[in-house]
Structure 1
Amino acid sequence: MSATEPRIPRVRLTERGPVLVDGPVEVVLPDGTAMHCDRPVVALCTCRRSRRFPFCDTSHRRRRP
């Protein structure tokens, strides 16, 4: 990819965990709040158990079936 071509964001769905997004990203919450993350890969919580929601803190690992 050349410097003039736009970067195509990559989103990866995981089996039992977060959605992984190539960063940096800006996440807009339902209330309109925007959160920015500069990490090269950002894990977004899908279980809503994270204390850092919308970012994953691995709380899904403590879930019992």
Structure 2
Amino acid sequence: MKINVGSADRVVRILVGALLLGAHFAGYIGAWGWLGVVPLMTGIFRICPAYLPFGISTCKTK
């Protein structure tokens, strides 16, 4: 698969994912915190399946 998540997008995804999971484990939010896995994984692997059908890419082109 082609990388389609750029640097700024990646940082935001990892932060949001980590915050959601952290809030869940700290007891601030319920099971909704597990949704943080999605942005965390898309940020780590730099591939967003939701971008693919639309041809969106936040990576800088060479």
Q: What TM-score do the two structures reach when normalised by structure 2? A: 0.24
Q: What TM-score do the two structures reach when normalised by structure 1? A: 0.24
Q: As a proportion of its length, which structure holds more strand?
A: 1
Q: As a proportion of its length, which structure holds more helix?
A: 2
